[in-house]
Chains A and B, each alone.
Chain A
Amino acid sequence: MGRFKKVTSILFLTSLLLVVAACSDNTDNTSKENNDDGNKNEDVVIDGDLEPITFSLFAADNNPSWDGMNSPVGQEILKATGVSLEADFAIGEPAERIALFAASGDYPDFVLPKGDGNLLVDAGAMIDLRPLIEEHAPNIQRVYGDYLERMVWSEDDDSIYFIGTNPVDEEYRTPGNGFWLQHAVVKELGYPEIRTLEDFENAIRTYYEMYPEIDGQPTIPLTLLADDWRLLISVTNPAFFATGAPDDGEWFIDQDTFEAKLHYKRPEEKEYFRWLNKMNAEGLLDKESFVQQEDQYKAKISSGRVLGMIDAEWSIADTQTALREDGKLDRMHGVYPVTLDETYKHGNFKPTGYLSTWGIGITVDNPDPVRAIKFLDWMASDEAQILNNWGIEGEHYQLDDDGNRYLTDDQREERRSDSSFDERTGINVFRAYGPHYGNGVLDPTGQPYTIHTPETLIEDYTEVEKEVLAAYDVEIWKDLFPQEDEFSPRPYGAAWEINYSSDSPIAVPFQRAQDTMFTRIPQAILADPADFDSIYDSFIEEISTDAIEAAEKEFSRLVQKRVELWGGN
């Protein structure tokens, strides 16, 4: 009895206290958490007279190899800068966490919010980096050069809140998107030109008629993946690639007037979908294209009985590895710049210029912004970039007699085969948290900053792949595609990178159009060819509401504003 009384009274008292706490003025009763965790690296001798400091960091993208400052590269960074980073990564929708930061007013010291920076800027959470960069950051200025002007927040606010963490001046060497065709098909048919949908279709059809079965199982002429958002990658994005437009997300931007519209409204794309409809009607499209899930799709391709796919490289990379390990080198796939007809150029390599909008920023809660910008500046230095890409000399790479960096075979193999390499060494782990150059950029001594060179790419090809490429008279797959210099750069970068807020007139109508598209396009593709026109036309009508047209106008305005703001940089 007595004991019980005590228990209840304690419970009661704590409840009361909590009520009082809840009702009291709550502006600053949450003391900033003092993480004594930062001291665990005390044994590291920091260069110069730098006081050790810990910065917290929140990133919208996960970094599975993150292991704090414990790795050798992490220790080097700590030694050089005195900075320990404590990282926290978004799980699921990053906006959720970012909104909580904004609502509560407690910010991490560094943030990489990707598309949701506007929430933080709105809440007054971000520091203008411009004066800091001008005063303290020569390396940052050098790496970005004129691109810095692209990072200006808006026409009304010329502050720079975030500096880009995409690789600067990256040279892209592998086609990310295209039409995939089994090597066996082109070999069998004597390496026909694969340039148009018709070529692609004929190759598939002819081979399918010759070999209705592969390894005793039915051959699948062409399969697509439409599992949730993957529909965008494998079904609708190819529509603009095949009709000569670059990747502007769900938008098509007129390159002269900078007017935007939803890309599937273009008549050319209707013709692309009509082709898919025909493929389906003729039994050349896998019946399960719109039903299967990713693992089924991958399993089919890995079995070697799928002749063609239309997809992004990263989506099918696993299947190519599996085929390769099985020794089914003929059943692997090559990628071709297929378009609706010869008047279009596949836009995979259409340049964007530097995509600067998504990056890292310093918040008002950062205890020492000067120290913070100096840290970012150090990350932009040659020393740091070489450390982040190559690692530590003698351990992760070697120098030859002329002072050139190279990897021994063992070091290369270690990177390739050890899945925990990044986590263990810290290489590639910190790069995303500062300005850095991309593949193909050379340092002052004429050596690349990154370890990837065109030679390493070719070394990795299989014999069959080399044979096919030789037959087409090229060295790498990219050579089949229209090159960057055949296009003029887009003066707005890439439209998918343009953010708008949740109460913008774009938000809801855009979502509605997407929802409609997700049902209607598959319906149109699977319809009887006689009904295709009526289904597609009624779909276009459905997404031509006033609200959607207003959204397109608003988006055009944003694109045009950006072109003005960037002034051709």
Chain B
Amino acid sequence: MKVTEKVDTTTIIIPKQKNFWKKMREQKILYMMSIPVVIWVFIFNYLPVWGWTMAFQNFRPGRSFSEQEWVGLAHFIELFNDPHFYLVLRNTLVMSVMLLVVGFTIPIIFAVLLNELKDSLFKRTVQTISYLPHFVSWVVVAGIVTKMLSTDGGIINDMLVGLHLIDNPIQFLAKGEWFWFIVTGADIWKQMGWNSIIFLAAMAGVDPQLYEAARVDGAGRFRRIWHITLPGIRPTIYVILILSIGNLIAIGFERQLLLGNSLTREYAEVLELYALNYGIGMGRYSFGTAISIFNSMVSILLLLFANGIFKRYSNTSVM
């Protein structure tokens, strides 16, 4: 498919123009299926982007557009001159990369393992249960994690002391350097099952005849996983990877806020919390908008980058 497209672009201009209109008529149904959605998206997603002008004003709600005070790039300059911003950016990137690496591979592995279960009832049960924590709010999960790691009767410390691995209980949550790992661990606990659903669905789409054929060829279990299951869901994996890279900077702040405390603050504060504290939370819409423009720009660049790489090496892309 890709190849034919490339041929298309190399043809000379005049026939292409002609082709274009002719083809458009041929594909009018495809156009009718997609253009209304483009208009839809334009209205609901692109129109509100006029709000970005706020980043260049000292926006006060209740004043008309012409009454707003324009300040140029002042908010961006303030943002980039704030040393705290870089600390927050570091935390955001470190945690999101960790979440991407672990929070991406583990659901795939889990989905593969689940797929290998033969007992269908057991399989369904495990799957249903594994996605339960997704519905439990972060407040609850953070509470449970804190209790487990407590030095006052927390199960982890009790176990470690009981096994004589340590002499005194460890204050896990007081150590800034450990915070990132605790967040990642908690995230896997909460999201592993949910995130694996999509891969399971992709596996369901793999042609069973391929398995049969492999079996006839004498391929063992592991080779079937490696040569059929994984390649079968590869497009899904790549697409989700690309989108995750695009979303790298947007990791939310709830889990960090709830698991963090004043001792781990310097490791826990992330960009979105910073935007809340110094932007909207204070009524500084303009500064908040400047941060979200920064976020969007970074995200789009990351997306284009990831998309480019994958397009080049694996022929997968999202655009």
Contact = CB atoms under 8 A, between A and B. Distances in A.
A288 B152 contact: yes
Nearest to A5: B32
Contacts of B47: 22
Contacts of B63: 122-123
A290 B39 contact: no
A266 to B, nearest CB: 21
Nearest to A287: B151
A519 B265 contact: yes
Contacts of B281: 93, 95
A125 B32 contact: no
B43 A103 contact: no
Contacts of A528: none
B35 A291 contact: no
Contact of B283 (A16, A99, A296): A99
Contacts of A519: 262-263, 265-266
Contact of A122 (B40, B42, B60): B60
B148 to A, nearest CB: 11
Contacts of A512: 84
B61 A123 contact: yes
Given A15-B43, A502-B284, A511-B277, A290 B61 contact: no
Given A287-B171, A502-B282, A103 B61 contact: yes
Interface in A124-158: 124-125
B257 interface: yes
User: Which one of B142, B150, B282 has the greatest number of beta carbons of chain A within 10 Å?
Assistant: B282
B171 A122 contact: no
A19 interface: yes
Contact of B280 (A93, A228, A295, A511): A93
B261 interface: yes
Nearest to A518: B262
B238 interface: no
A211 B143 CA distance: 30
A102 B262 contact: no
Contact of A15 (B40, B171, B174): B40
Interface in B22-65: 29, 32-33, 35-36, 39-40, 42-43, 47, 58, 60-63
Interface string A1-12: 000110010011
A515 B143 CA distance: 23
B283 A501 contact: yes
A12 B42 CA distance: 13
A501 B60 CA distance: 10
Contact of B43 (A18, A125, A507): A18
B311 interface: no
Contacts of A95: 280-281, 283
Contact of B62 (A8, A16, A122): A122
Interface string B237-261: 0000000000000000000010001
A300 B284 contact: no
A119 B62 contact: yes
A518 B265 contact: yes
Contacts of B39: 12, 15-16, 19
Most chain B CB atoms below 10 A, which of A123, A227, A290: A290
Nearest to B149: A291
Interface in A55-107: 93, 95-96, 99-100, 102-103, 105
Contacts of B257: 228
B32 A12 contact: yes
A125 B62 CA distance: 9
Nearest to A520: B262
B278 A100 contact: no
A116 B62 CA distance: 13
Nearest to A122: B62
A15 B147 CA distance: 52
Contact of B174 (A125, A290, A502): A290
Interface string B102-115: 00000000000000
Given A119-B61, A291-B150, 4 more contacts: A15-B40, A120-B62, A226-B261, A511-B278
29 contacts: A8-B33, A11-B36, A12-B32, A12-B36, A16-B39, A19-B39, A93-B280, A95-B283, A120-B62, A123-B61, A124-B62, A228-B257, A287-B151, A287-B171, A288-B151, A288-B171, A290-B261, A290-B262, A290-B263, A291-B171, A291-B173, A291-B261, A293-B143, A502-B284, A508-B284, A515-B265, A518-B262, A519-B263, A521-B262
Interface of B: 29, 32-33, 35-36, 39-40, 42-43, 47, 58, 60-63, 84, 142-143, 146-147, 150-152, 171, 173-174, 257, 261-263, 265-266, 277-278, 280-285
The 6 A-B residue pairs whose C-beta atoms are closest, nearest first, are A123-B62, A102-B62, A502-B283, A102-B61, A103-B61, A15-B39
